[in-house]
Amino acid sequence: MALLKINGLKIHYPLRGGLFRRVVDHVKAVDGLSLELQRGETYGLVGESGCGKTTAGRTVIGLIPATSGDILFEGTRISGLPRREFARYRRDIQMIFQDPYSSLNPRKRVLDIVAEPIRNFERLSPQEERRKVQFFVERVGLPAESLLKYPHEFSGGQRQRIGIARALTLNPKLIIADEPVSSLDVSVQAQVLNFMKDIQREFQLTFLLISHDLGIIRHMCDRIGIMYRGRLVEEGTREDVFANPQHIYAKRLISAIPNPDPRQRQEQQRLRLELEQEYEKLKTSYFDHEGRAHPLKRITDTHSAAIL
Ligand SMILES: Nc1ncnc2c1ncn2[C@@H]1O[C@H](COP(=O)(O)OP(=O)(O)OP(=O)(O)O)[C@@H](O)[C@H]1O
């Protein structure tokens, strides 16, 4: 059974306007997303800014309500559950946030930050709690003295490790990591990503890794889903998606990665040529010879990707 199953998920944000702030329209941030995560894998959700990745991740963790569709965790429907019932699953699903600067409370010491989930879900004595927090803080590579320090006393990479320690304390099954290294220096990014791989093995974690960076996705993920305008346009193993992307948008993304390896550069060149030909075909089928849109043709996602 899949650890997480997302089925036809739609999340529409109401847009309000006018004098009485009535709902005048909706932003279809996620519009029919379906995917499955198997235990122990890293699934990469990738796509350009605004395609709905963050919204989807936050809905899985219960921060944003789904408009329709289902989210199943270990076979149980968790979307639409009242807060109290959802809390039972909440400890199994943790999140690593994008920004280690704003996601840690600057007024709290590391001990209190990392202990927060424990205090919400477990009743431990202060000694047991401290022992547990210390174990995870040391496990993420920080010295025990860190417990009494405040977030501003750490570097970006260290703060992200504090966020990871906090996510690990309840022994979760699934971790949603939304752009976990995008706010870190490039030199620190690889360290944090490799560390995530280590803890995945050690704690048998499943990752839903959200990123717009295909380099990171390729380094980390077993399977990849490419999101475009609120839904998946392509999904497959890392090898398949990178070697043989099918959807025109996936080809466009992959052909644009800077690549130092000459063999892969050649492959990208081939992909780019193929893509140009496809664009031309699509454009000629959609526009007339003067470049006007065909009045009777409905614009599809593929057309949009070709035209953009
Ligand atoms: N609270 C909100 N109210 C209205 N629209 C929103 C809200 N949050 C996000 N959106 C819109 O929903 C769409 C999807 O946003 P989302 O942040 O999920 O995309 P994303 O792929 O994660 O992008 P990014 O990588 O830039 O965060 C965008 O068009 C965004 O402007």
- How many angstroms does the Cα of residue 227 sit away from the middle of ligand 1? 13
User: By the 8 A CB rule, do 57 and 210 touch?
Assistant: yes
Task: Look up residue 46 and give its amino acid.
Answer: V
Between 292 and 75, residue with greater pLDDT? 75
Mark 45-77 as b/e (b = at least 16 C-beta within 10 Å): bbbeeebbbbbbbbbbbbebebbebebbbeeee
End-to-end CA distance of the chain: 39
Contact 160, 96 (CB under 8 A): yes
Poorest-confidence range of 40-49, 106-115, 236-245, 259-268? Answer: 259-268
> In this structure, which residue's CA is closest to atom 29 in ligand 1?
50
Q: What is the ipTM of this complex?
A: 0.95
Distance from C-alpha of 186 to C-alpha of 166, rounded to nearest angstrom: 23
127 CA to centre of ligand 1 in angstroms? 42
Which structural domains are found in the chain, ordered by start? Answer: 4-243 (3.40.50.300), 245-308 (no CATH)
Q: How far is the CA of 39 from the centre of ligand 1 (A)?
A: 28
Q: Which residues line ligand 1 (CB under 6 A)?
A: 13, 27, 29, 47, 49-55, 212
Q: Which two tokens stand for residue 42?
A: 């890293």
Cα separation, 101 vs 68, in Å, equals 33
- 269 vs 133, more confident: 133
With the most atoms of ligand 1 within 8 angstroms of its CB, the residue from 30, 54, 213, 217 to mutate is 54
Cα(46)–Cα(216) distance, integer angstroms: 10
| Closest Cα to atom 28 of ligand 1 | 50
Give the position, in ligand 1's atom list, of the atom nearest the Cα of 210.
22
pLDDT tens, 207-238? 999 999 888 999 999 999 999 999 999 999 99
The pLDDT of residue 296 is 46
**pTM for the model:** 0.85
Ligand 1, atom 1, residue with closest C-alpha: 13
Spell out the residues 6+ positions from residue 276 whose beta carbon is closer than 8 angstroms to its own. Answer: none
Residue 75's identity, in one-letter code, is: G
Q: Say how many Å lie between the CA of residue 52 and the centre of ligand 1.
A: 6
- For residue 255, CA distances in Å to 38, 211, 229, 243 come to 28, 17, 19, 10
The protein residue with its alpha carbon nearest to ligand 1, atom 7, reads 13
Question: What are 53-94's pLDDT values in tens digits?
Answer: 999 999 999 888 999 999 999 999 999 888 888 888 889 999
